[in-house]
Amino acid sequence: MEKIHSQLAQHPQAVLFDAYGTLLDVYSVGLLAEQLFPGQGSTLSVLWRDKQIEYTRLVTTSNHGAHYQPFWELTRAGLRYACKRLKLVLSPEHEAQLMNQYRHLSAFPENKAVLQALKARGIVTGILSNGDPDMLGIAVRSAGLEGLLDHVISVDAVRLYKTAPEAYALGEQATGLKASQIAFVSCNSWDALAATWYGYPTLWVNRYQLPFEELGTQPTRTGSTLTDVLGFFESV
């Protein structure tokens, strides 16, 4: 059941989705990881994701972003670290296989229907992601979402990762709308929180029944699947 933290004065005119973890299942890579490293697939996928995000924060907050690297390279670095941490021998062949799988992550099953429903209502749709443009282009095509997204926005344009305000500002720049007119949807609680702080009305998609961040701010809405974004437009 969806929980609503506050009421909106008006319906958003656009919806921007996080990609990795929200439209795309970052842990689906664990299936291949399990085949390559029996008994370690799930652990590897979780540690890989955690290190990937840690690296985005490290390069963004150190020396004003002077150490920025594209998300693809941070993803590779995270994989290599995770394997070393778990004492797994990552051959060049296995690395190539896992990285290729990351390019083609499984999409959550409700994605297409939700985007189609938003388009039918005349709502502008898009992605605002840490992913670099090449990664996002392949992911969108692989997930069959071409034609359902008006904008595919990469933070690579500002060379700063979320949660930097400059990253969230890209949504306003791309759509020509104010943050208050754009719903932002993320399955990552830290992302939903930072987007709320920035000024977006937010939906946190709590797929895994986790507690929200304990920093005194709640998302505008909380749901369990992407379908809950349609609650922003119940009377449209």
Domains, the chain: 3-24+107-233 (3.40.50.1000), 26-103 (1.10.150.240)
- Euclidean distance between CA atoms 100 and 213, whole angstroms: 32
Res 235 pLDDT > 90: no
Residues with a catalytic annotation lie at: 18
CA distances from 172 to 1, 45, 124, 232 (A): 30, 33, 12, 19
What is the H or E stretch that residue 78 is in?
A: helix 71-85
37-55: per-residue pLDDT in tens? 999 999 999 999 999 999 9
Q: Which amino acid is at 18?
A: D
Largest Cα–Cα distance in the chain?
55
How large is the average pLDDT for residues 126-133? 96
Which residue, among 16, 15, 22, 85, has the nearest Cα to 48 in the 3D structure?
85
Three-state DSSP state, 193: helix
In the block, tokens 């506050």 appear at 6
Task: Categorize the per-residue pLDDT at 6 as very low, low, confident or very high, splitting at 50, 70 and 90.
Answer: very low
